[in-house]
Amino acid sequence: MKWVEKYAPKTLGEVLGNAKAKAEIEVWAKKWADGNPQKPLLLMGSPGIGKTTMAHLVGQEYFSETIEVNASDKRSYDILKRTIGEAAQTRSLFNTGYKLIIMDEVDGISGRDDSGGVRAINETIKNAKQPLIMMANDPYSKRLTSIKGKCQAIKFTKIHTNTINAQLKRICDAEGIKYDAEVLKQLSKQSNGDLRSAITSLEAIVDSSKVITSDSLAVISQKDGEQNVFDTVRTILKSKTPEHVIDAMRVDTQPQFLIELVAENIPREYERVDEIAKAYEMIALADLNLARAFRTQDYTYWKYAFFFMGRGVAAAKEKTYKKFARYTNSTVYGKLSKSRKNKNLIELVTGKMSKRLHTSPLELEKQIPFYTVMFEDNERAYDFKEYFKLEDEEVKLFRSRKIPVSVEKKRIKELQKQQEEEEKAIQKAKEEALKKAKKESILQSGEETIQRKTSSKEEDVSSTKKTMEKADTKTVKKQSKSKTESMDEKTKIAQNNTDTADKKKDETEGDESSNIKKSSDDNNTKKEDKKPKSKQTTLFDF
């Protein structure tokens, strides 16, 4: 069994370093175990500092089952959806507790927010009904922009050199290995906060011997069967043994980066001018063969390049130097890396600011110098940090110094005081509103009483009016009836008088007409008497 596995922590209490992160994770896990769902966790930090180990131990101690997926191996939407989508939404058939889903290297997935693996993870986070822990090596990766806002982000720091050194000593004591304390200390420093790398290097050193001396550092330090690039450079510059150098060149890195790293550290190791000149001649030949390989696409030239930058540089020195030389990273690649990291940081910060200011990130990027001036004031810097919801690492874009803790405490107290005053004002407003409502209710009830009394009086008056109107109507009707009756009587009398007069008139006219007729009849009689009488003819006359 490899020492990394053999001496791995068995419980959360045995985990070394990152005590604050461990406490936050335990609080999160306890809430889930108590049936109180939480946001997914996003653990961020460099490899080998305990992210994956801690996630597995949390699953072991708090959950019934653990499922691990390497997101960078399953990059497409469909594959990730099948592997983690269903697992995050369903419970186990026989286990009653929650199952922990662990996703490693989420910063290595492909796609954008709306496609590919990133889309699958965003959908999984949205629909997850099971606890989810994700890990990322690069906290400034663009692929994490949409994911970080939906998660509880916890940053892991590199493990302290003293902690690594103490663990290496415990392993040596357990394995019965004699060691030089200074060598272990140097090995701890070289690990650069990576405990896993330090344990692997220690195991490689003692493969052939149970004693660790200063010469042991010249031996290849391996990490998962592959050479660490800085150990490769150290072997080239310190060793004259061709076999060691050839083995050291078996490293998983780009030849352009390795040649820059060797060239950067030649003056730090070699002291004589002629040795330095010969070494750089070998570097020139290696660079020439690399150029031929890229120009002709014939990568057999690579073996010549590795030969010159490895054995050629190692053979340039007459003897090995028994001294400690602090090697540095390539200046060129360091600047490029810093520039890329700074660019990612700018994009991340301006993206957050644009959401609050409703301004494009490109426009905000132009305004960074102005914000840098404003961030010089501690209190204003804290206010900006809280308003834009920036992390401590993101504040470094505007100022190199940390915001003092005293300022944070002061602003927190002020905000708490302001919040208390606002709450008091709200409470006072509520009380005044309640009093006003009571007054209004009393006034309203009084008005209603007055209205009821007024309405009752109005009803009495209206009923009285109606009664009087009815009485008046009856009186008027009686008077009009009597008047009508008297008029009718008068009319009848007048009619009778008229009829009497008409009768008399008719009688008079009748008498006159009868007299006239009589006189006319008398006249006619007289005329007839005057006419000669005609002879009456009878039958006997014939």
The mean pLDDT value for 247-265 works out to 82
Please report which confidence band the pLDDT of residue 28 belongs to, taking 50, 70 and 90 as the band edges.
very high
State residue 222's pLDDT score: 40
515 pLDDT higher than 70: no
Cβ atoms within 10 Å of 387's Cβ, excluding its own: 11
Question: CA–CA separation, 67 vs 104, rounded Å?
Answer: 11
DSSP string, 494-517: HHHHHHHHHHHHHHHHHHHHHHHH
- What fold does the segment set 18-155 form as a domain? Rossmann fold (3.40.50)
State residue 471's pLDDT score: 66
Answer left, alpha or beta for residue 45, where phi above 0 means left and psi between -120 and 50 means alpha: left
Burial level of 398, CB count in 10 A (0-12/13-18/19+)? buried
The mean pLDDT value for 399-405 works out to 85
Please report which confidence band the pLDDT of residue 225 belongs to, taking 50, 70 and 90 as the band edges.
very low
Please report which confidence band the pLDDT of residue 221 belongs to, taking 50, 70 and 90 as the band edges.
very low
Q: Which of 351, 210, 50, 208 is nearest to 220 (CA)?
A: 208
State residue 283's pLDDT score: 93
Question: CA–CA separation, 355 vs 113, rounded Å?
Answer: 16
> Nearest 5°: phi and psi at 110?
-105, 170
Cβ atoms within 10 Å of 325's Cβ, excluding its own: 14
The mean pLDDT value for 55-74 works out to 80
184 pLDDT higher than 80: yes
The continuous run of DSSP H or E covering 479 comes out as helix 405-530
Those residues with Cβ within 8 angstroms of residue 63's Cβ, 6 or more apart along the chain or in another chain: 29, 32, 33, 97, 98, 99, 100, 131
80 pLDDT higher than 90: no
Cβ atoms within 10 Å of 113's Cβ, excluding its own: 14
Cβ atoms within 10 Å of 181's Cβ, excluding its own: 10
pTM of structure: 0.46
Q: Which of 207, 162, 165 is nearest to 183 (CA)?
A: 165
Question: CA–CA separation, 498 vs 493, rounded Å?
Answer: 8
Please report which confidence band the pLDDT of residue 72 belongs to, taking 50, 70 and 90 as the band edges.
low
Q: For 231-235, 271-275, 445-449, 528-532, which range has the lowest pLDDT when averaged over its residues?
A: 528-532
Indicate the DSSP class of residue 222. Answer: E
State residue 433's pLDDT score: 86
Question: In this structure, are residues 33 and 130 in contact, taking their beta carbons and an 8 Å threshold?
Answer: no
Q: For 49-63, 210-224, 412-426, which range has the lowest pLDDT when averaged over its residues?
A: 210-224
Residues forming a β-bridge with 42: 134, 153
Position with higher pLDDT, 522 vs 136: 136
202 pLDDT higher than 50: yes
Contacts 24+ apart (CB under 8 A), 226-233: 226/250, 226/251, 226/252, 227/251, 227/252, 228/197, 228/201, 229/253, 229/257, 229/258, 229/261, 230/190, 230/261, 230/327, 231/190, 231/201, 232/258, 233/258, 233/261, 233/262, 233/265, 233/327
Q: Which two tokens stand for residue 3?
A: 């020492």
% of the chain with per-residue pLDDT over 70: 74
Amino acid identity, residue 133?
I
The domain locations on the chain are 18-155, 335-403
How far is the first Cα of the chain from the last one, in angstroms, to the nearest whole number?
194
> Nearest 5°: phi and psi at 42?
-125, 105
The mean pLDDT value for 86-110 works out to 71
SS3 217: helix
Position with higher pLDDT, 525 vs 231: 231
Q: For 111-125, 131-145, 340-354, which range has the lowest pLDDT when averaged over its residues?
A: 111-125
Please report which confidence band the pLDDT of residue 114 belongs to, taking 50, 70 and 90 as the band edges.
very low
**CA-to-CA dists, residue 500 to 270, 495, 506, 510, angstroms:** 170, 8, 10, 15
Taking all residues of the chain, what is their mean pLDDT, rounded to a whole number?
Answer: 78
Question: CA–CA separation, 154 vs 22, rounded Å?
Answer: 9
Q: For 99-103, 181-185, 188-192, 217-221, which range has the lowest pLDDT when averaged over its residues?
A: 217-221
Q: Which two tokens stand for residue 314?
A: 């190692």
State residue 335's pLDDT score: 63
440 pLDDT higher than 50: yes
84 pLDDT higher than 70: no
